[in-house]
């Protein structure tokens, strides 16, 4: 018995596997697109709005299937679904390298968006919320650092590959890398600790608290959640933060190069952002576990607002680095704060279905943000009006998150 107690709780292996999925699948398929925007525009002669529309369509596809993904996870588990999603994303990346028309380009991004929904944020949030109750925000924070570290590594690597070999070769290399995630998910991922005769957070059955034993069975149905104030506050927070974050992320490298930064310097700035998300996710995860989710939400959105103000004045390399540090610390926080707040306010009983619908809000916002920044740029010749708008929207999002409260009774 003593030997068993000394073993690392298997939930942390789950966290490690989810980290790898985020690092490779999310880190490549979502975070590196900003590197490809200008090269594709130059090579194929499309406008920035046309190229960035691909991200919008991917986000819309992800949002459209998110509720169904959530219900499927509730019924059948996450392991096979995550593997299938990664296989779809990797295959689409390989095929994107052959794009020469917008319909072909858009179709592959739509299919890739479906794969992203099955492989990344929804199942990862669900799995880790099942495996951890008392340390949920911390565990989510560690797993979600994979998105930032993936971007920190993959953005400069992708930038070098694109500059040296071209964007098509880069997509082929990244597609092969994404496919390596498939066996990782099949070997390691388990949807809940009960599949292995375990309890959340590594508790033993003799000492398990009533809360640990019953938390997975508590919460609202999707229909009940839709009638609560908390659901709509969380949904509003997610749509506005998704719009603002993607509106900045997709167009950040073009913006930085437009205002005078070299491409290598812009890639470095994006890498700094990605690296700082690691500290932000872990730090805000610890804060949420110890002080509560709402102080963590309030702090993260206040820091995001400060970051956007700095971005509007980022003409020098030093000021751009200051933006990267501030923005990077906070911008990844919604990846762990959104599911944590959802679990706290609406429960785990039907978490997959509920968070799947909420993810539709987030992806709808992200879809709008990706193309909105491009449209504003094409109309005004500058990104400044778009970034100023996002300051207002993020302030509203933060208020919505802080106002959300628990809507179900503990048994």
Domains plus CATH for the chain? Answer: 9-403 (1.20.1250.20)
Q: Is the dihedral of CA 274, 280, 283, 284 positive or negative?
A: negative
Average of pLDDT values for 354-375?
A: 88
Looking at the predicted structure, is the pLDDT value of residue 327 above 80?
yes
Higher-confidence position of 158 and 411: 158
Looking at the predicted structure, is the pLDDT value of residue 216 above 60?
no
Residues above pLDDT 90, as percent of the chain? 59
pLDDT score for 207 = 52
pLDDT score for 206 = 52
Looking at the predicted structure, is the pLDDT value of residue 67 above 60?
yes
User: Is there a contact between 283 and 334 (Cβ–Cβ < 8 Å)?
Assistant: no
Quote the CA–CA distance of 266 and 250 in Å, as a whole number.
Answer: 13
- Give 359's pLDDT tier (boundaries 50, 70, 90): confident
Looking at the predicted structure, is the pLDDT value of residue 38 above 70?
yes
pLDDT score for 3 = 42
Looking at the predicted structure, is the pLDDT value of residue 215 above 70?
no
User: Is there a contact between 108 and 96 (Cβ–Cβ < 8 Å)?
Assistant: yes
For the range 293-297, what are the long-range contacts, defined as Cβ-Cβ under 8 Å and sequence gap of 24 or more? 293/137, 293/337, 293/340, 293/341, 293/344, 294/401, 294/402, 296/137, 296/333, 296/337, 297/237, 297/333, 297/337, 297/341, 297/398, 297/401, 297/402
Quote the CA–CA distance of 193 and 208 in Å, as a whole number.
Answer: 13
Looking at the predicted structure, is the pLDDT value of residue 79 above 90?
yes
89: enclosing H helix or E strand: helix 79-96
330: enclosing H helix or E strand: helix 317-331
- Give 217's pLDDT tier (boundaries 50, 70, 90): low
Neighbours of 405 (CB within 10 A): 12
pLDDT score for 80 = 95
Looking at the predicted structure, is the pLDDT value of residue 233 above 50?
yes
pLDDT score for 147 = 84
Looking at the predicted structure, is the pLDDT value of residue 47 above 70?
yes
Quote the CA–CA distance of 123 and 79 in Å, as a whole number.
Answer: 9
Q: Which of 233, 283, 251 minimizes the C-alpha distance to 401?
A: 233
In Å, what is the CA distance from 406 to each residue of 107, 110, 287, 410? 40, 35, 19, 10
Average of pLDDT values for 320-347?
A: 93
Which two three-digit tokens encode residue 25?
Answer: 């699948």
Quote the CA–CA distance of 122 and 411 in Å, as a whole number.
Answer: 26
Looking at the predicted structure, is the pLDDT value of residue 271 above 60?
yes
pLDDT score for 21 = 96
Q: Which of 399, 75, 18, 116 minimizes the C-alpha distance to 222?
A: 75
- Give 161's pLDDT tier (boundaries 50, 70, 90): very high
Residues above pLDDT 70, as percent of the chain? 95
Q: Is the dihedral of CA 113, 350, 198, 211 positive or negative?
A: positive
Average of pLDDT values for 187-212?
A: 77
Helices (H), 215-316: 222-226, 229-249, 252-258, 263-291, 293-311
Higher-confidence position of 20 and 267: 20
Q: Which of 189, 161, 155, 12 minimizes the C-alpha distance to 86?
A: 189
Neighbours of 376 (CB within 10 A): 20
Residue with tokens 């820091």: 303
Q: Average pLDDT of the chain? A: 90
pLDDT score for 2 = 42
Looking at the predicted structure, is the pLDDT value of residue 82 above 90?
yes
pLDDT score for 133 = 86
**Prediction pTM value:** 0.76
Average of pLDDT values for 390-408?
A: 95
Q: Is the dihedral of CA 139, 140, 145, 146 positive or negative?
A: positive
Length of the chain: 411
pLDDT score for 411 = 56
Quote the CA–CA distance of 28 and 25 in Å, as a whole number.
Answer: 6
């Amino acid at each position: 018995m003593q030997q068993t107690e000394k073993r690392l709780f298997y939930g942390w292996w789950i966290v490690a596997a989810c980290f790898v999925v985020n690092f490779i699948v999310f880190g490549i398929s979502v975070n590196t697109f900003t590197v490809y925007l200008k090269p594709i525009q130059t090579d194929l002669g499309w406008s920035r709005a046309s190229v960035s529309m691909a991200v919008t369509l991917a986000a819309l596809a992800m949002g459209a299937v998110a509720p169904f993904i959530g219900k499927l996870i509730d019924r059948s588990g996450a392991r096979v679904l995550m593997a299938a999603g990664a296989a779809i994303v990797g295959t689409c990346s390989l095929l994107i390298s052959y794009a020469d028309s917008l319909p072909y380009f858009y179709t592959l991004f739509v299919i890739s968006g479906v794969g992203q929904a099955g492989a990344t944020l929804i199942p990862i949030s669900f799995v880790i919320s099942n495996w951890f109750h008392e340390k949920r925000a911390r565990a989510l924070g560690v797993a979600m650092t994979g998105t930032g570290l993936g971007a920190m590594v993959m953005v400069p690597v992708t930038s070098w590959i694109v500059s040296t070999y071209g964007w098509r070769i880069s997509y082929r290399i990244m597609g092969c890398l994404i496919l390596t995630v498939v066996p990782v998910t099949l070997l390691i991922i388990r949807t809940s600790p009960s599949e292995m005769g375990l309890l959340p957070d590594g508790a033993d059955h003799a000492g398990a608290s009533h809360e640990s034993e019953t938390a997975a069975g508590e919460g609202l149905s999707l229909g009940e959640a839709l009638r609560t104030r908390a659901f709509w506050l969380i949904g509003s927070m997610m749509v506005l933060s998704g719009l603002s974050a993607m509106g900045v992320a997709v167009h950040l490298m073009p913006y930085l190069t437009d205002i005078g930064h070299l491409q290598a310097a812009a890639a470095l700035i994006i890498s700094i952002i990605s690296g700082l998300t690691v500290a932000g996710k872990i730090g805000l995860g610890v804060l949420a576990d110890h002080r509560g989710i709402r102080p963590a939400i309030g702090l993260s959105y206040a820091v995001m607002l400060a970051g956007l103000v700095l971005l509007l004045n980022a003409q020098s390399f030093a000021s751009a680095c200051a933006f990267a540090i501030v923005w990077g610390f906070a911008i990844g926080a919604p990846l762990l704060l959104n599911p944590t707040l959802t679990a706290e306010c609406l429960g785990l009983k039907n978490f997959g279905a509920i968070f799947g619908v909420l993810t539709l809000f987030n992806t709808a916002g992200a879809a709008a943000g990706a193309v909105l920044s491009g449209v504003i740029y094409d109309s005004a010749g500058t990104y400044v009006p778009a970034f100023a708008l996002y300051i207002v929207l993020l302030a509203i999002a933060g208020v919505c998150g802080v106002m959300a409260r628990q809507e179900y009774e503990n048994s």
